[in-house]
Amino acid sequence: MMNQLTHFNEQGRAKMVDVSDKPVSTRTAVAKTSIKVNEVIHDQIINHKNKKGDVLGVAQVAGIMAAKNTSQIIPMCHPLNLSGIDISFEWDTSDGYEIFITCTVKTTGQTGVEMEALTGASATALTIYDMTKAVDKSMIIGPTYLEHKSGGKNGDFNR
Protein backbone atom coordinates (compact mmCIF):
# COMPACT_ATOMS: atom_id res chain seq x y z
CA MET A 1 0.00 0.00 0.00
CA MET A 2 2.74 2.49 0.93
CA ASN A 3 4.43 2.18 -2.48
CA GLN A 4 1.16 3.27 -4.16
CA LEU A 5 1.11 6.62 -2.37
CA THR A 6 3.25 9.04 -4.37
CA HIS A 7 3.83 11.55 -1.57
CA PHE A 8 5.47 9.07 0.80
CA ASN A 9 8.97 7.62 0.69
CA GLU A 10 9.90 4.00 1.47
CA GLN A 11 9.95 4.82 5.18
CA GLY A 12 6.39 6.13 5.07
CA ARG A 13 7.49 9.74 5.45
CA ALA A 14 6.27 12.67 3.38
CA LYS A 15 8.24 13.63 0.28
CA MET A 16 7.91 15.97 -2.65
CA VAL A 17 7.04 13.91 -5.74
CA ASP A 18 9.73 13.59 -8.43
CA VAL A 19 8.23 15.00 -11.64
CA SER A 20 11.41 14.81 -13.73
CA ASP A 21 10.01 12.02 -15.94
CA LYS A 22 6.70 13.77 -16.60
CA PRO A 23 6.28 15.45 -19.99
CA VAL A 24 6.24 19.23 -20.21
CA SER A 25 2.83 20.62 -21.13
CA THR A 26 0.90 23.87 -20.91
CA ARG A 27 -1.07 23.92 -17.69
CA THR A 28 -3.72 26.33 -16.52
CA ALA A 29 -5.78 26.54 -13.34
CA VAL A 30 -8.64 28.82 -12.34
CA ALA A 31 -9.59 29.18 -8.68
CA LYS A 32 -12.41 31.22 -7.22
CA THR A 33 -13.37 32.60 -3.85
CA SER A 34 -15.43 35.48 -2.50
CA ILE A 35 -15.69 37.80 0.45
CA LYS A 36 -18.90 39.20 1.88
CA VAL A 37 -18.55 42.75 3.18
CA ASN A 38 -20.90 45.37 4.57
CA GLU A 39 -22.16 48.49 2.78
CA VAL A 40 -19.52 50.79 4.30
CA ILE A 41 -16.66 48.57 3.10
CA HIS A 42 -18.27 48.24 -0.33
CA ASP A 43 -18.51 52.03 -0.56
CA GLN A 44 -14.89 52.46 0.58
CA ILE A 45 -13.62 49.97 -1.98
CA ILE A 46 -15.54 51.18 -5.03
CA ASN A 47 -14.96 54.86 -4.24
CA HIS A 48 -11.28 54.44 -3.21
CA LYS A 49 -11.92 55.85 0.28
CA ASN A 50 -10.10 53.25 2.39
CA LYS A 51 -7.40 54.79 4.59
CA LYS A 52 -4.95 51.98 3.76
CA GLY A 53 -5.13 52.67 0.02
CA ASP A 54 -6.51 51.02 -3.12
CA VAL A 55 -7.96 47.83 -1.62
CA LEU A 56 -8.41 45.88 -4.85
CA GLY A 57 -5.09 47.05 -6.30
CA VAL A 58 -3.18 45.95 -3.21
CA ALA A 59 -5.17 42.70 -2.97
CA GLN A 60 -4.45 41.93 -6.61
CA VAL A 61 -0.70 42.36 -6.10
CA ALA A 62 -0.87 40.25 -2.92
CA GLY A 63 -2.63 37.47 -4.81
CA ILE A 64 -0.03 37.53 -7.58
CA MET A 65 2.80 37.44 -5.04
CA ALA A 66 1.13 34.57 -3.17
CA ALA A 67 0.68 32.51 -6.33
CA LYS A 68 4.36 33.06 -7.22
CA ASN A 69 5.45 31.96 -3.75
CA THR A 70 3.11 29.02 -3.18
CA SER A 71 5.95 26.51 -2.85
CA GLN A 72 7.31 28.49 0.10
CA ILE A 73 4.16 27.99 2.18
CA ILE A 74 2.68 24.69 0.90
CA PRO A 75 5.39 22.15 1.76
CA MET A 76 5.02 19.62 -1.06
CA CYS A 77 4.45 22.10 -3.89
CA HIS A 78 7.16 22.36 -6.52
CA PRO A 79 8.69 25.79 -7.18
CA LEU A 80 7.29 26.71 -10.58
CA ASN A 81 8.18 29.18 -13.29
CA LEU A 82 4.76 30.73 -13.83
CA SER A 83 4.09 32.28 -17.22
CA GLY A 84 0.97 34.21 -16.25
CA ILE A 85 -1.24 35.18 -13.32
CA ASP A 86 -4.48 37.13 -13.65
CA ILE A 87 -6.77 38.14 -10.81
CA SER A 88 -10.16 39.66 -11.50
CA PHE A 89 -13.04 40.94 -9.39
CA GLU A 90 -16.81 40.99 -9.83
CA TRP A 91 -19.28 42.52 -7.39
CA ASP A 92 -22.66 40.97 -6.61
CA THR A 93 -24.97 43.37 -4.78
CA SER A 94 -28.19 41.40 -5.32
CA ASP A 95 -28.18 40.09 -1.73
CA GLY A 96 -25.80 42.24 0.28
CA TYR A 97 -22.26 43.02 -0.86
CA GLU A 98 -20.06 40.21 -2.09
CA ILE A 99 -16.98 40.42 -4.25
CA PHE A 100 -16.09 37.38 -6.31
CA ILE A 101 -12.39 36.79 -6.95
CA THR A 102 -11.04 34.74 -9.85
CA CYS A 103 -7.36 33.78 -10.01
CA THR A 104 -6.03 32.26 -13.25
CA VAL A 105 -2.50 30.84 -13.30
CA LYS A 106 -0.61 29.42 -16.27
CA THR A 107 2.71 27.65 -16.79
CA THR A 108 4.46 25.33 -19.17
CA GLY A 109 5.95 22.60 -17.04
CA GLN A 110 5.79 19.15 -15.54
CA THR A 111 3.27 19.76 -12.78
CA GLY A 112 0.01 21.65 -12.45
CA VAL A 113 -0.79 25.06 -11.00
CA GLU A 114 -3.94 24.33 -9.02
CA MET A 115 -2.33 25.16 -5.68
CA GLU A 116 -0.92 28.41 -7.07
CA ALA A 117 -4.37 29.50 -8.26
CA LEU A 118 -6.01 28.55 -4.95
CA THR A 119 -3.29 30.30 -2.96
CA GLY A 120 -3.54 33.43 -5.11
CA ALA A 121 -7.32 33.62 -4.72
CA SER A 122 -7.08 33.04 -0.96
CA ALA A 123 -4.40 35.67 -0.41
CA THR A 124 -6.41 38.17 -2.43
CA ALA A 125 -9.44 37.67 -0.18
CA LEU A 126 -7.32 37.76 2.97
CA THR A 127 -5.77 41.05 1.87
CA ILE A 128 -9.20 42.59 1.34
CA TYR A 129 -10.08 41.44 4.86
CA ASP A 130 -6.85 42.85 6.28
CA MET A 131 -7.28 46.23 4.64
CA THR A 132 -10.91 46.64 5.75
CA LYS A 133 -11.11 44.84 9.11
CA ALA A 134 -10.99 48.13 11.03
CA VAL A 135 -14.48 48.83 9.68
CA ASP A 136 -15.98 45.37 10.25
CA LYS A 137 -14.44 42.08 11.37
CA SER A 138 -17.51 39.98 10.54
CA MET A 139 -16.68 39.55 6.84
CA ILE A 140 -17.03 36.03 5.47
CA ILE A 141 -14.50 34.53 3.05
CA GLY A 142 -15.37 31.62 0.77
CA PRO A 143 -16.14 29.16 -0.43
CA THR A 144 -12.78 28.76 -2.15
CA TYR A 145 -12.55 26.18 -4.91
CA LEU A 146 -10.91 25.05 -8.13
CA GLU A 147 -13.12 26.01 -11.08
CA HIS A 148 -11.01 24.63 -13.93
CA LYS A 149 -7.67 23.04 -14.71
CA SER A 150 -6.13 21.91 -17.97
CA GLY A 151 -2.98 20.07 -18.96
CA GLY A 152 -1.14 17.10 -17.55
CA LYS A 153 -1.78 13.37 -17.74
CA ASN A 154 -5.06 13.59 -15.83
CA GLY A 155 -6.50 15.98 -18.43
CA ASP A 156 -8.97 18.75 -17.91
CA PHE A 157 -11.22 19.37 -14.92
CA ASN A 158 -14.27 21.62 -15.01
CA ARG A 159 -16.46 22.15 -11.98
In a structure prediction context, what are the per-residue pLDDT tens digits for the chain, which is 159 residues long? 444 657 788 888 888 888 988 889 999 999 999 999 999 999 999 999 999 999 999 999 999 999 999 999 999 999 999 999 999 999 999 999 999 999 999 999 999 999 999 999 999 999 999 999 999 999 999 999 999 999 988 889 999
Residue 99, SS3?
strand
Catalytic, 130? Answer yes
Q: Which residues does residue 84 pair with via DSSP β-bridges, in sequence order? A: 106
Active-site residue among 21, 92, 130, 156? 130
Q: Where are the beta strands (DSSP E) in the chain?
A: 25-37, 82-92, 97-109, 140-141, 145-150, 157-158
